Structure 1
Amino acid sequence: MPALPPRRVAAERKDHSVSTIVTDAPSGLFQDEYGLFIDGAWVGSASGRTIPLTNPATGAHLAKIQAGNAADVSAAVAAAKAAFPRWARSRLEERQEILLEIARRLKARTADFARMESANNGKTIVEATIHDLPEAIGQFEYFSGSVYALHGETRDYPDLIGLTHREPLGVVAQIIPWNVPLLMASMKLAPALAAGNTVVLKPAETVCLTVLELIREIADLLPPGVVNVVTGYGQDVGEALVAHPDVRKVAFTGSTATARKIIEYAARNIIPQTMELGGKSASIVCASADLDEAARMAALSTVFNKGEVCMAGSRVFVERSVHDAFLERFVREVEAVRIGDPSHPETRLGAMSSRQQYEKVQGYFDVALSDGAEIALGGGVAHVPDLPDGLFLKPTILAGVRNDMRVAQEEIFGPVTSVIAWDDEAAMLGEVNDSRYGLAGAVWSNDIRQAHRIAREMQTGVVWVNTYYNLPRGMPVGGYKQSGFGRELSWDILRDYTHTKSVVIPL
């Protein structure tokens, strides 16, 4: 995901200092219970069941959401299908103004949405404020301008004129994850709406309160049925939504394992998909690199959003001649990261989003040791005073890692980074590309020829040179191999939300 521009993540103290101010989301930010949003109205689920959501830093209850099912999906798809003809033919100015007004409303409530995202996800208030909200707002601003850029072409022939039109697909199913839910919803909704599609959105059942609050904030702007939201467990909602005969496209961000199921469901009706999946991105540090800057960015990649980022540079390949010097700097930077209450403005590492993820990441500490790696830093639970129920982990650096180890091949999705030494550039690139994933990566070198050469050889969708997590708006983002297909965050995605129709007019 797009992330913070380069900045120093280390605090002044060279230890895992802890923030202890404890604050739940202030009362009034969340409703006690949220309904499904179908055909412009909030309704209860057909099942009558709800799902409780908690603050992962405190364990406190936040709200209840609906446990939707296939009946709810059918109602939402029917509403989206009925709304499509009118929305598809809506004036460009109307769609543009709606997208701009969504951006304005998010901007006006940036502080509220940042606090809500922090409370439900466990991310720091700083990250939510300076990353998630500006990027979410930016999606609506960017795609508001695309409505005029989405047009066809004319082709002149001696005896005829050929016209091509770009037309919206219809009802789009969108399924988003729990790590950056508000941003993910914005990334999916903005281009789909700009292109004239209607949407049924399924957010993650563990972290989705900001998505529901977004819909509450903008419900009056959208004609009924244009956007519908069905919450619930994947097994109850996902298959019913993707396999519905009236759905014309699927947009999914999440795990590779879930993507395989979704692709199977979508194949029943032979509908297109865009997939943004996992990553095991490599950051390559060459001998000529600025080691201080490379170490700072490696630290940022480790702790940003608690490592719950598909683009995290979780494999750092360091040229052997500078390996020890880099590792020393890297450890020093990560040691200084402040862990604790995510609502505290000085905290730089919050709580894992769920107990399932908290326990999964801990399991990799034992895996690393059993495979022969060393824990250079961290590798355990972080105990935060006054937050005994918080799901906190120490940021972890693994040294002595080989690329064939599980910790170098499997997506951990936590604050864990592996350091791998290399001697030969060609052999190193072979290991970098020896991964099922190919989402992002970086090259750290002051030799521009070397940096360009390595970047061209990396089998990955995004490569940064002497930086990380720095994505100017409009740059396409997507993966190679099992990291998925399709390109988001740019005009490219509009091709995936439209058909091309050819019209031939004889002269």
Structure 2
Amino acid sequence: MAMDGATGGTRRGLFLESYGHFIDGAWVGGDSGKTIAVSNPATGAHLSNIQAGNAVDVDRAVQAAHRAFKTWSRTHPRARQQVLQEMARRLRARLADFAMMETVDNGKPISDATMFDIPATAEVYDYFASLPLQIHGETTDFPDSMLLVHREPLGVCAAIVPWNIPLYCTALKVAPALAAGNTVVVKPAESTGLSILEFFKECADILPPGVVNIVTGYGPEAGEPLVRHPLVRKVSFTGSKPTARKIMQYASQNIIPQTMELGGKSANIVCADADLDAAAEGVVMSTVFNKGEVCISGSRTFVHESVMDRFLEKLSAQIGHVRQGDPQDPRTQLGPQASKVQFDKVAGYLELGCAEGAHVLAGGAKASIVGFEQGLFIQPTIFSNVRNDMRIAREEIFGPVTCILGWRDEDEVLALANDTDYGLGGGVWTRDLTRAHRFAREMQTGTVWINRYYNFVPGQPLGGFKQSGFGRENTFETLLHYTQSKAVIVNLTEGPIGLYQG
């Protein structure tokens, strides 16, 4: 069944009343006929309906991507470059619209979406637009032969996108896949996929049919058959460890490569000589940015005991000035959690922290916002007197919650920072350049920021150590994860070797 992007084609504010799957360049209804209601986490208001996809829908999408791969993989690199550049341009041209979509669908403050989500997403497409011409093979000469190594695209790639930063995380997967000549099937999170659907509706005229396909639905019904599909050649996943373990099992059926960007419990280390005002600001930002729903947030802050009292005083003052409320208000700095499931999870950790004996320095409860009584708001929360063996210091909370721990010497704090299953991000606050590099070398984590947390730069590798996953996104190395090498050996000598002559 064909659809003009929606059932009925009626606009309700930013979004259509209902969205189909995007398969082979067209909007189509789902096989089951079932839909999923999507709501605004700040108000509980209904936003739209999406298709509850199943294995039949997935197969249609993968088959379309497989057909498109034959042509797309052989396009001139400049053609792929131009498509990616235009995708970036269209994002920037409608920055305000897409920012508001992310805010209404996810609950993030409009300031976060305007200043980070949309500009950073466009930057990802721009960055990978610069790389198709940089995908090189190599040659090696021998006296009697020549080795040619080609680097070729993989085929159909599955992109499974999380709910916290939808457009940005989609770009981290789609942009390198397209740059390398692959085709893609995207499975957004069922709770926050509306901006993704709108963006690819915006770009449908520049993407050849089947090059990018989108199937919406729940993980077991849509995500699992996508990863298990025999024509899928790679899966890229961002999300939780439990789901990652399932996806790795599914991917093992056809033995396909994976990129996994998982959780974190990152250490923010404040040294005695740090700029305490800047460090406190960094900790607050790491706590409240995107409502703390960021896998790389610095949710464990280690403060040198000699400056603990002064730091906590500054931290308390700054977090007290965080403006929480209507996420559509440009002045708001902290919005609601993205879903009731996430709200309940964070609320459970607030109770657990108190039960474990941590001290609530700030927050610690549900926030009541006038006019948003149905909203899923949590107060920005700081726990002090935390030990590294507490669950609130070991498990990913994924909310506006940070733990404060003390330290005395370098060996101690580095051991504590590394005493975690995760290894995604980290921060060091010090005026001593030698110490900064020494700490950065010893921290077992994929990113270390020195004297400014969340200081993202173009081409920065994103990925983790240990159970934070494997593979890297957002960098040239990413193209290696979306291509494979082929060795071609050319014989330069004439005639047979003479092995079987009489």
Give the TM-score category using the shorter length.
over 0.9
**2:385 aligned with 1:400, yes or no?**
yes
**Inter-partner Cα distance in structure 2 for 1:496 and 1:170:** 12
**2:316 aligned with 1:331, yes or no?**
yes
Aligned-partner residue type, residue 210 of structure 1: S
**Inter-partner Cα distance in structure 2 for 1:421 and 1:405:** 14
Partner of 1:210: 195
Partner of 1:5: none
Out of 228, 245, 252, which is 1:243 matched to? 228
**Inter-partner Cα distance in structure 2 for 1:413 and 1:30:** 27
In the TM superposition, residue 28 of structure 1 has moved relative to its aligned partner by 3.7
**Inter-partner Cα distance in structure 2 for 1:486 and 1:436:** 17
**Inter-partner Cα distance in structure 1 for 2:348 and 2:268:** 24
Correspondences of 1:422-461 after superposition (within 5 Å): 422-461=407-446
Partner of 2:304: 319
Out of 345, 357, 361, which is 2:342 matched to? 357
Kindly provide the CA deviation profile for residues 1-24 of structure 1, in whole angstroms up to 9, marking residues without a partner as x: xxxxxxxxxxxxxxxxxxxxxxxx
Out of 63, 68, 72, which is 1:78 matched to? 63
Correspondences of 1:63-142 after superposition (within 5 Å): 63-142=48-127
Query: What percent of counterpart residues are identical?
Result: 57
In the TM superposition, residue 424 of structure 1 has moved relative to its aligned partner by 2.2
Out of 462, 474, 491, which is 1:506 matched to? 491
In the TM superposition, residue 383 of structure 1 has moved relative to its aligned partner by 0.7
Partner of 2:289: 304
Out of 290, 297, 300, which is 2:275 matched to? 290
In the TM superposition, residue 110 of structure 1 has moved relative to its aligned partner by 0.5
Aligned-partner residue type, residue 122 of structure 1: G
Partner of 2:371: 386
Partner of 1:13: none
**Inter-partner Cα distance in structure 2 for 1:121 and 1:327:** 31
**Inter-partner Cα distance in structure 2 for 1:188 and 1:397:** 34
**Inter-partner Cα distance in structure 2 for 1:239 and 1:111:** 34
Aligned-partner residue type, residue 177 of structure 2: A
In the TM superposition, residue 27 of structure 1 has moved relative to its aligned partner by 4.6
**Inter-partner Cα distance in structure 1 for 2:87 and 2:228:** 30
**Inter-partner Cα distance in structure 1 for 2:206 and 2:50:** 23
User: Which deviates more, 427-436 or 309-318?
Assistant: 427-436
Structure 1: unaligned runs, 5 residues or longer: 1-25
Partner of 2:495: none
Out of 399, 406, 412, which is 1:421 matched to? 406
**Inter-partner Cα distance in structure 2 for 1:370 and 1:352:** 23
Out of 26, 47, 52, which is 2:37 matched to? 52
Instruction: Give the TM-score, by structure 2 length.
Output: 0.95
Q: Secondary structure at the match of 2:284?
A: helix
Kindly provide the CA deviation profile for residues 191-213 of structure 1, in whole angstroms up to 9, marking residues without a partner as x: 00010001111000011100000
**How large is the RMSD of aligned CA atoms in angstroms?**
0.9
**Inter-partner Cα distance in structure 2 for 1:186 and 1:316:** 30
Q: Secondary structure at the match of 1:421?
A: strand
Out of 428, 437, 451, which is 1:466 matched to? 451
**Inter-partner Cα distance in structure 2 for 1:306 and 1:36:** 29
**Inter-partner Cα distance in structure 1 for 2:97 and 2:353:** 40
Out of 183, 200, 203, which is 2:185 matched to? 200
**Inter-partner Cα distance in structure 2 for 1:215 and 1:446:** 45
Q: Secondary structure at the match of 1:494?
A: helix
Aligned-partner residue type, residue 48 of structure 1: G
Kindly provide the CA deviation profile for residues 400-436 of structure 1, in whole angstroms up to 9, marking residues without a partner as x: 0000000000000000000000112212211111100
**Inter-partner Cα distance in structure 1 for 2:90 and 2:255:** 37
Aligned-partner residue type, residue 38 of structure 2: L
**Inter-partner Cα distance in structure 2 for 1:383 and 1:222:** 45
**2:328 aligned with 1:343, yes or no?**
yes
Aligned-partner residue type, residue 395 of structure 2: E
**Inter-partner Cα distance in structure 2 for 1:75 and 1:65:** 17
**Inter-partner Cα distance in structure 2 for 1:434 and 1:395:** 25
Partner of 1:475: 460
**Inter-partner Cα distance in structure 2 for 1:356 and 1:28:** 26
Structure 2: unaligned runs, 5 residues or longer: 1-10, 493-502
**Inter-partner Cα distance in structure 1 for 2:343 and 2:224:** 27
Kindly provide the CA deviation profile for residues 79-115 of structure 1, in whole angstroms up to 9, marking residues without a partner as x: 1111111010011121111111111111110010001
In the TM superposition, residue 451 of structure 1 has moved relative to its aligned partner by 1.4
Aligned-partner residue type, residue 136 of structure 1: T
Partner of 1:155: 140
**Inter-partner Cα distance in structure 1 for 2:13 and 2:367:** 30
For the pair shown, which has the larger CA radius of gyration, 1 or 2?
Answer: 2
Q: Secondary structure at the match of 1:219?
A: coil
Partner of 2:358: 373
Q: Secondary structure at the match of 1:288?
A: coil
